[in-house]
Chains A and B, each alone.
Chain A
């Protein structure tokens, strides 16, 4: 099965270039990452690719096997660390960068961290390159903390953070609740210790940007030329990839240092949790088409008027700015309510689908569609205006919507960020796909 899938993809690569690579793959409705309470990381140098076909030197946190000492590839962003509330966490860090790259470290905003080993730095304890004084006890730093509240958090370099965050030393920290909240359903998922944080699908939106000049300067060791007062990014990333690469599956072999995708999918009526993180230094106004979301938490704290009140101070909006170093949890939903037609193409006698908007049941599509060959169809049109429907399309039209889902563009409203080094489309574009209830997700 995998082999056939790969072969098909290879044909696509040969015939059509990179754009359709993502298609036909199924994204996962959960956030992938490293689960546990002890993590061993190594700061390493590697290369990422951008969707305009360029490649850049990066520094990333890699997973290190403490027993064998072997490390994986550096990642952009670093591994998503998934831990549990009230369970003590230990993260060790070593430094495989060249000595001239400097020391490295990690800070965990919102956590009370104890750092041991390594050497004192400005924000926390740091670790020098393994090439300097090996075996003297400076080669590892350990960070321990006990996450007291569930939620979405960020970790970033705390050493020359302007340069090191630009180079890729950051990642997401997700703290899952220790137990089902009071009144909750053990079969369901919750982001916080309150029933109003329930969700069905969750996705990471970790925003970052890049000024290619900085990476060239690092590559060419022109350290003295690096000047963040002239910072001018031209590449933008969600979870370390830009459009359209971010629609491909997690862990695809052609993006070995960018393992995480951003392809949200859901069924009508489900609650989608967006874990929204500003990892870089700029602010990105992300616009979630299709419906309002509710911001239920900021910086890993429910927006609450008091203990037990739940997210009663949540606010509704369609656009939210990613704040550097900060996190927000958004809950988004979609049922097709008031769309104006029966999205399932029911006749009035058919039974209702779950969460179907009853007043539109059996209501016909309100527009007479033009003849098949009279118009040009976008790549995401299935050929049918109905959810899960498929229709005939002219050759070369459509083709990127396997299940007849509804596509909603989720993108930055700083429109110049929808490019990769001035090539459109690229950068901060993603799509939520609303799938028919019968289409499996994950």
Chain B
């Protein structure tokens, strides 16, 4: 029925479409992320149920070899040339989840999602259901239901350090561990304009109240029949973690691992607070240059040995080791959360290490 000319035109059109898709892909960072339940072992050996993110590296959600989840989740990187971030989210939990990046606009957001309170059996997306004054927002962004795969797309992704969190019942799902850092440099080796670095470390402060975790895992948290903990109002964290571990975990001794510093080198520390409490990162023996807050570059750096890192915040700092290596600089919470469930020493205590060249 179609003329040869028409077919040729269609072929050309398809080619154009393919080109535009491929072109789009070239400028987007794309990740396949799972969320699943797991147990996390604290420094004192206690196992705490968590919900964490894992990265499916072969992008199919089929194989099971690389599906370990962690709290915090893996650091996702958006290339300096990537305009967009696309996350495919597979939900292995038994309740709906969603994603939200503080400070970035979710382009394909079909949320918020409303539910009928307290039954939580019916949902609406977008605006409040007309005439329903008891409906509540359950999710900031569109949900991915249990067993399903959702897509979240951020176009015009800004450079900086950002915190991704669950956008669904955050008092519950963020507490359980659904957060991860996302970073984007302005150019190779520069976090922001004129903020270059030689080495980088991501430091996430967060806390865990195991009683809430256990109640959530047992289904006895929140407005449910037989609840043992009805809300997080009496939250009392027992574990104070940096990057999922606490002192004396190897991961903090030093925290910059193989990224150890030579004298004069610039270490970029991307600080994030994924917990619910304010922490005050403090370093002994030198000053940091604070360069950015929530992904916004300051016009002038602030020189300080510590700063306020409130919940949900990110701060980027540059640290230059003035000392001849080897040297260790304690980096800890000046609010003195230095215990593991009350046992001292522990908690938010780590070291930044500078090493001799042959020890790197």
Q: Would A305 and B300 count as touching, CB distance under 8 A?
A: yes
Q: How large is the interface on B (under 10, 10 to 19, 20 to 34, 35 or more residues)?
A: 35 or more
B18 interface residue per 8 A CB criterion: no
Q: Produce 1/0 per residue, A158-169, CB < 8 A to B.
A: 101111010000
Q: Which residues of A contact B282 (CB under 8 A)?
A: 109, 325-326
Interface status of B341 (Cβ within 8 A of chain A): yes
Interface hub of A158, A160, A323 (most chain B Cβ within 10 A)? A323
Asked if B336 and A161 make an inter-chain contact with CB atoms under 8 angstroms apart, the answer reads yes
Asked whether B287 lies within 8 Å of A110 as measured between CB atoms, the reply is: yes
In the bound complex, CA of A110 to CA of B287 (Å): 6
**A interface footprint on B19-46 (CB within 8 Å = 1, 0 otherwise):** 0000000000000000000000000000
Segment at the A interface, from B69-77, B112-120, B134-142, B342-350: B342-350
B residues near A16, Cβ cutoff 8 Å: none
Residue of A nearest to B279 (CB): A324
Complex interface bits, B106-141 against A, C-beta within 8 A gives 1, otherwise 0? 000000000000000000000000000000000000
Contact of A323 among B280, B330, B342 (CB under 8 A): B280
Stretch at the interface among B144-152, B197-205, B304-312: B304-312
Contact B280 A230 (CB under 8 A): no
Select which of B280, B285, B299 is within 8 A of A112 by beta carbon. B285
Contact with B along A63-102 (1 / 0, CB 8 A): 0000000000000000000000000000000000000000
Docked-complex contact B303 and A123, CB < 8 angstroms: no
Closest to A145 in B: B285
- Minimum CB distance partner of B344 in chain A: A160
User: In the complex, what distance in Å separates the CA atom of A306 from the CA atom of B303?
Assistant: 11
1/0 contact string of B69-101 vs chain A (CB within 8 Å): 000000000000000000000000000000000
Flag if A324 contacts B280 (CB, 8 Å).
yes
In contact, A109 and B284 (Cβ under 8 angstroms): yes
Complex contacts, B285 vs chain A, CB 8 Å: 111-113
A32 within 8 A of B: no
Contact of B335 among A303, A304, A324 (CB under 8 A): A324
B262 within 8 A of A: no
Min Cβ gap A334→B in Å is 28
Any chain A CB within 8 A of the CB of B165? no
**A165 surroundings in chain B (CB, below 8 A):** 336
Given contacts A160-B344, A324-B334, A326-B334, contact A109 B236 (CB under 8 A): no
Assess whether A112 is in contact with B286, with CB atoms less than 8 Å apart: yes
Whether the pair A160, B280 counts as a contact (CB closer than 8 A) is no
Q: How large is the interface on A (under 10, 10 to 19, 20 to 34, 35 or more residues)?
A: 35 or more
A313 to chain B, nearest CB (A): 6
Which A residues between 288 and 304 are near B, CB-CB below 8 angstroms? Answer: 298-299, 301, 303-304
B338 surroundings in chain A (CB, below 8 A): 160-162, 228
Given contacts A109-B282, A113-B285, A229-B238, contact A299 B303 (CB under 8 A): yes
Chain B residue at minimum C-beta to C-beta distance from A303 = B302
Closest to B247 in A: A122
A120 nearest CB across to chain B (Å): 11
| Chain A residues, Cβ within 8 Å of B283 | 109
B322 in the interface, Cβ–Cβ < 8 Å? Answer: yes
A123 and B236 within 8 A (CB): no
Residue of B nearest to A298 (CB): B304
B339 at the interface (CB under 8 A from A): yes
- Cα A316 to Cα B337 in complex, Å, equals 31
Given contacts A122-B330, A283-B278, A324-B334, A230 and B344 within 8 Å (CB-CB): no
- How far in angstroms is the closest Cβ of chain A from B285? 6
- Please give me the residue from chain B that is nearest to A305 by CB atom: B300
* Shortest distance from the beta carbon of A296 to any chain B beta carbon, whole Å: 13
- Residues on B with C-beta less than 8 A from A229 are 236-238, 339, 341-342
Check A281 for interface membership: any CB of B closer than 8 A: yes
Among B305, B323, B349, contact of A299 (Cβ-Cβ < 8 Å) = B305
Inter-chain CA distance A163–B283, complex, in Å, is: 20
Interfacial chain A residues near B349, Cβ < 8 Å: 122
- CB contact between B236 and one of A111, A124, A230, A283 (< 8 Å): that residue: A230
Collect the chain B residues with CB atoms within 8 Å of residue A226's CB: 342
Q: Chain B: which residue is nearest A301 at the CB level? A: B303
The chain A residue with its CB closest to the CB of B239 is: A229
Contact of B287 among A122, A228, A301 (CB under 8 A): A301
CB-CB < 8 A to A219: which residues of B? none
Residues in A364-398 with C-beta less than 8 Å from chain B: none
Contacts of A112 in B (CB 8 A): 285-286, 322-323
CB distance from A100 to the nearest CB of B (A): 14
- Report A-chain residues with C-beta under 8 Å of the C-beta of B299: 305
**Set B304, B330, B344: member contacting A163, Cβ < 8 A:** B344
Q: What mask results when residues 224 to 256 of chain A are scored 1 for a CB within 8 Å of chain B, else 0?
A: 001111100000000000000000000000000
- What residues of chain A lie closer than 8 Å to B334, measured between beta carbons? 109, 281, 323-326
Per the bound structure, the CA–CA distance linking A110 and B334 in Å amounts to 13
What are the residues of chain B within 8 A of A162 when measuring CB–CB? 336-339, 344
Which of A162, A226, A304 neighbours the largest number of chain B CB atoms within 10 Å of its CB?
A162
The reply to whether B330 and A123 contact each other, CB–CB distance below 8 Å, is yes
Query: Bound state CA distance, A158 and B338, in angstroms?
Result: 11
From residue A214, how far is it (CB to closest CB) to chain B in Å?
12
Whether B287 pairs with A323 at a CB distance below 8 angstroms is no
Tell yes or no: A173 within 8 A of B by CB. no
CB contact under 8 A between A301 and B345, given known A229-B238, A281-B335: no
Which residues on B sit within 8 Å (CB–CB) of A305?
Answer: 299-300
Residue of A nearest to B323 (CB): A112
Interface string of A104-134 (1 = CB under 8 A from B): 0001111111000000001110000000000
With a cutoff of 8 Å between Cβ atoms, the chain B residues found around residue A228 in the complex are 336-339, 342, 344
Residues of B within 8 A of A163 (CB): 344
For residue B323, which residues in chain A have a CB less than 8 angstroms away from its CB?
112
| Chain B residues positioned under 8 Å from A304 (CB to CB) | 300
Other than the given A228-B338, A281-B334, 11 more pairs (CB < 8 A) read: A112-B323, A122-B247, A162-B338, A162-B344, A228-B336, A228-B342, A299-B305, A301-B303, A305-B299, A313-B300, A326-B307
A interface, CB within 8 angstroms of B: 107-113, 122-124, 158, 160-163, 165, 226-230, 281-283, 298-299, 301, 303-306, 313, 321, 323-326
* B contact residues vs A (CB 8 Å cutoff): 236-238, 247, 278, 280, 282-287, 299-300, 302-308, 322-323, 330, 332, 334-339, 341-342, 344-345, 349
Q: Which 10 residue pairs of A and B lie closest in terms of their CB atoms, listed nearest first? A: A325-B334, A227-B342, A162-B336, A301-B303, A299-B304, A281-B336, A324-B334, A305-B300, A281-B335, A109-B305
Ordered by A's residue number, 27 sampled pairs between the chains whose C-beta atoms are within 8 Å are A107-B284, A112-B285, A112-B322, A124-B284, A160-B344, A163-B344, A226-B342, A228-B336, A228-B338, A228-B344, A229-B236, A229-B238, A229-B339, A229-B341, A281-B335, A282-B335, A299-B303, A299-B304, A305-B299, A305-B300, A306-B300, A321-B308, A323-B308, A325-B335, A326-B280, A326-B282, A326-B306
